[in-house]
């Protein structure tokens, strides 16, 4: 690829990453082109569809998430691995709202959500086996946590980091087994 073409591609991806983080994956392609300082024809030549652009924009983020899952799977303390992974995911949502929205909705990503479900299930299974989770907590509950966190972030304004952390801490407490040994109702998902 020519140097100018590679520079255009890099500017397009950087602009898309910023705009999608701000507005989500439905940001108009023309707005991405304007932000990148390229014409719409250049944008569409590099990325013929929105799905292509979003997938490329999030390729690095997906690789980071995958590395985080693998790191958590190697942590000798399953309870800590579960807790820290959830807190990292929620904190990442504050910084990049578009990625989680894209994963939750399936918009524009070539990433199979089943890959995420398998990683989450492994994390859950290890935490459950260590006695760190109440019965019935599953991957659907974690997706619900992330969707709820997205809502908290959306309304919290400048206080989003603190509000997100507080929400995540509340949710993690609700996932914990009852210390008194009283059964809690099982999750519906």
Q: Other C-beta atoms within 10 Å of 166: how many?
A: 13
Contact 24, 97 (CB under 8 A): yes
pLDDT score recorded for residue 70: 82
Three-state DSSP class for residue 176? coil
Q: At what angle do helices 160-175 and 139-156 cross, to 10 degrees?
A: 150
Q: Given this model, what pLDDT does residue 125 score?
A: 92
pLDDT for position 87: 93
Instruction: Let me know: does 29 contact 40? Beta carbons within 8 Å.
Output: yes
Give the pLDDT of the chain (189 residues) as one tens digit per residue. Answer: 578 888 989 999 999 988 887 777 788 999 999 999 999 999 999 999 888 888 888 877 777 777 888 888 889 999 999 999 999 989 988 887 777 766 666 655 555 567 777 888 889 999 999 999 998 898 889 889 999 999 999 999 999 999 999 999 999 999 999 776 555 555 554
Say how far apart CA 149 and CA 153 lie, in whole Å: 6
pLDDT of residue 185: 55
> Which homologous superfamily is 3-57 in?
Homeodomain-like (1.10.10.60)
Q: Which residues of 50-83 are buried (b: 16+ CB within 10 A; e: fewer)?
A: beebbbbbbeebbeebeebbeebeeeeebbebbb
The pLDDT score that the predictor gives to residue 178 is 78
Give pTM, 2 decimals.
Answer: 0.75
């Amino acid at each position: 690829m020519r140097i100018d073409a590679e520079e255009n591609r890099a500017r397009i991806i950087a602009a898309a990453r910023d705009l999608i983080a701000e507005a989500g994956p439905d940001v108009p392609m023309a707005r991405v082109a304007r932000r990148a300082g390229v014409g719409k024809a250049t944008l569409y030549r590099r990325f013929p569809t929105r799905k292509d652009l979003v997938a490329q924009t999030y390729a690095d983020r997906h690789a980071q998430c995958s590395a985080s899952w693998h790191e958590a799977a190697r942590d000798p303390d399953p309870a800590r691995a579960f807790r820290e992974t959830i807190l990292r995911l929620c904190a990442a949502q504050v910084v990049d709202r578009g990625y989680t929205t894209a994963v939750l909705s399936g918009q524009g990503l070539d990433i199979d959500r089943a890959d995420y479900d398998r990683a989450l299930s492994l994390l859950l299974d290890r935490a459950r086996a260590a006695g760190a989770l109440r019965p019935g907590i599953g991957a659907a509950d974690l997706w619900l946590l992330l969707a709820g966190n997205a809502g908290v972030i959306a309304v919290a304004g400048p206080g989003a980091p603190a509000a997100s952390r507080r929400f995540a801490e509340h949710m993690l407490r609700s996932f914990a087994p009852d210390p008194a040994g009283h059964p809690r109702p099982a999750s519906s998902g």
